[in-house]
Chain A
Amino acid sequence: MGVKSKQLPRHAWKEEVTVNIRPMTALVTLCMLAFSPPVQAADKPTDPQIAHIAYTAGVIDVENARLAISKSGNKAVVSFAEDMVRDHEAVNTQALDLVKKLKVTPEDNDTSKALARAADDERAKLAKLDGASFDKAYVDNEVAYHKQVNGALETLLIPSASNAELKALLETGLKIFQGHQQHAEHVAATLK
């Protein structure tokens, strides 16, 4: 670890950059949403949009996890992926119950669309990998993905939510996804 800052072989440096950049691209929209300078009130997502974004983010993670379950032979990776399916489905079921109760129809929007598109690209890349390189790419992406989703929840989605119950569910989601991020980081460390 300490060696990293000093003399890093060129190829290793390159690899590190690639690994870090890939998930970023996949999340570029969420990033921009979460970290761009303060926007006008008009750009604040509405509750139906927030619900759609949060739901989409969950579906994406479930789909990635299903890919990992079908492809990986690593026990820690597979059980992590199973945890992702279980939890994100539970949160999304809760979200669907809530929107039904509130009589809110989740509204598709540019953020959701861009998220889904970027995720398709990411999944296509993952699908081409196998064995240890798949495991590493999947778990690294999980770390980056949860980090970004949590950032978006914290800085944009939760503050923008106007319905108290929706806000509370997003807060619960944040707590859960922070746990996922730590779990993913832990699994990533075992793959090094």
Chain B
Amino acid sequence: MRAGFYLVAITGLMLGNGAMLAEARTIRVTIDKMAFVPAEIEAQVGDTIEWVNNDILVHTATVKGGWEVMIPAKGTASRAVVEAGQVDFYCRFHPNMKGRISVAAP
């Protein structure tokens, strides 16, 4: 009962706010044999990017002069998308590994 009430309240909030209309998604990037797959992703502010590392090595998703996510071997890591724009990221340990995130303006 209570849960139902909250759901209605949240739906109301979402409808009241245009930016929240699109449901936040989790976008998965797999790392397999030293490559980000897919290498290019599109996201929206509020989405979460999740890196799933199938390799036996530690990797990073690093934006030069910006953020960095450490992705443990055989592990996962994630980061919320907070701003619009396009960023290139790479693995600091294996600089050939590259990816790009394009975030549409809200």
Contacts and interface: CB of A to CB of B under 8 A. Distances in A.
B61 to A, nearest CB: 16
Given A90-B73, A175-B34, A182 B96 contact: yes
Contacts of A91: 56-57
Contacts of A186: 95
Contacts of A94: 56
Given A175-B33, A176-B34, A179-B34, A87 B96 contact: no
Interface residues of A, number: 14
Interface in A93-147: 94
A124 B15 CA distance: 71
Among A83, A91, A94, A182, find the residue whose CB has the most chain B CB atoms closer than 10 A: A83
A90 B58 CA distance: 9
Interface in B36-93: 55-58, 73, 92-93
Interface in A138-192: 172, 175-176, 179, 182-183, 186
Interface residues of B, number: 13
A87 B58 CA distance: 8
B25 interface: no
A23 B42 CA distance: 45
B34 A86 contact: no
A172 B56 contact: yes
A83 B96 CA distance: 13
Nearest to A91: B56
Contact of B93 (A83, A175, A182): A83
Contact of A172 (B33, B93, B97): B33
A186 B96 CA distance: 10
Given A90-B73, A172-B33, A179 B56 contact: no
A83 B94 contact: yes
Contact of B95 (A87, A90, A183): A183
Interface of A: 79, 83, 86-87, 90-91, 94, 172, 175-176, 179, 182-183, 186
5 contacts: A86-B93, A90-B57, A90-B58, A175-B33, A179-B96
